[in-house]
A and B are shown apart, each in its own frame.
Chain A
Amino acid sequence: MQTSAEATHDGVLVDRLKAGDADAYETLVRDHIGRMLAVARRYLRSDEDAQDVVQEAFLAVFRGIDGFAGHARLSTWMHRIVVNAALMRIRKRSYTAEKPIDDLLPTFLDDGHHAIEPQAWNVDAAQAIESAETRELVRDAIDQLPDGHRTVLLLRDIDGFDTGETAAALGISENAAKIRLHRARQALRQILDPHFSEEQS
């Protein structure tokens, strides 16, 4: 939900953009470039790619502004544009086969019991994340996920896409999107496990 102050700010800015006001364009770029870069960087592993994608995204924004109807917030609309530009870049880049994720999934005995019993974590996320070291650790762990799973995790858990939107953005079925999300979270849990399980401390 947008507040009326935000709606007014967006509305005024959009009107000025549509009128071709150069200052309004500079305001738009300066207001959004940091967040756009952050979004591009989490999808792409190279900063150069991220900067290219942010440029492409702004170009799409400039071209699309006349058609921007104001049903969504400007920042929400721009967020979608940069995510889609990043996904397109990943698609162009990944000619190599997806790294298998199986090694990062839990294993079970023939009778269905855990092959390695999960231990409780001695972690409170809200508290743990106060430490820059933990944040770095978690971001590195996400980066270790294979692309096809990492992108689903980012879209669903971080960027607020629902299952249908994720499936459409990646050109996969909704069922595949659901399976990948569950596997990606399981794999991430597994990578983080040695750092947070009680035996460790």
Chain B
Amino acid sequence: MTCKELVAFLNDYREQRLPADVAADLEKHLDLCPPCRAYLRSYEETIKLGRDAIATADDEACREMPEHLVEAILRLRGSARED
């Protein structure tokens, strides 16, 4: 397996969707190839960073109370009832 193939298979590998022999080849390559190990780890970190950055943004937004929007939405309720 080449580095290019490993990177292409990476997500299927993480989600355990590769046939056993391909997964074994991939692990053998990982053992011998520091750049691919670095790639895999940084790919995992990327997912976590994305999740965490958005989750904290959500928590900040939860403390917001835009009154004009609340009012506008409550007015919409009237129109929702009419039709």
**Contact B69 A54, beta carbon cutoff 8 Å:** yes
- Asked if A189 is an interface residue, CB under 8 A from chain B, the answer is yes
A119 to chain B minimum Cβ distance, whole angstroms, is 6
**Contact A125 B52, beta carbon cutoff 8 Å:** yes
Compute how far the CA of A42 lies from the CA of B50 in the bound complex, rounded to whole angstroms.
12
From the candidates A54, A106, A119, A157, name the one contacting B51 in the complex (CB within 8 A): A157
- Asked if B26 is an interface residue, CB under 8 A from chain A, the answer is no
- Asked if A174 is an interface residue, CB under 8 A from chain B, the answer is no
Dominant secondary structure of chain A at its interface with chain B: helix
Compute how far the CA of A135 lies from the CA of B60 in the bound complex, rounded to whole angstroms.
12
From the candidates B3, B48, B53, B65, name the one contacting A33 in the complex (CB within 8 A): B65
From the candidates B52, B64, B79, name the one contacting A129 in the complex (CB within 8 A): B52
B9 to chain A minimum Cβ distance, whole angstroms, is 10
- Asked if A41 is an interface residue, CB under 8 A from chain B, the answer is yes
**Contact B10 A182, beta carbon cutoff 8 Å:** yes
- Asked if A25 is an interface residue, CB under 8 A from chain B, the answer is yes
Instruction: Evaluate whether A35 and B62 lie within 8 angstroms (CB atoms) in the complex, with A112-B2, A185-B11, A196-B42 already known.
Output: yes
Chain A residues within 8 Å of B54, by CB: 42, 139, 142, 154, 158
Chain B residues within 8 Å of A153, by CB: 50
- Asked if A172 is an interface residue, CB under 8 A from chain B, the answer is no
**Contact B49 A128, beta carbon cutoff 8 Å:** yes
**Contact A119 B49, beta carbon cutoff 8 Å:** no
Chain B residues within 8 Å of A134, by CB: 49, 53
**Contact A34 B76, beta carbon cutoff 8 Å:** no
Q: Mark A157-197, 1 if CB is under 8 A from B, else 0.
A: 11000000000000000000010011001101100110011
Chain A residues within 8 Å of B74, by CB: 25-26, 29
B44 to chain A minimum Cβ distance, whole angstroms, is 9
From the candidates A34, A158, A185, name the one contacting B65 in the complex (CB within 8 A): A34
Interface residues of B (CB under 8 A from A): 2-5, 7, 10-11, 34-39, 41-43, 45-54, 56-58, 60-66, 69-70, 72-74, 76-77, 79-81
Extra inter-chain contacts (8) besides given A55-B76, A123-B45, CB under 8 Å? A34-B64, A37-B69, A59-B76, A59-B80, A114-B3, A118-B39, A158-B50, A193-B42
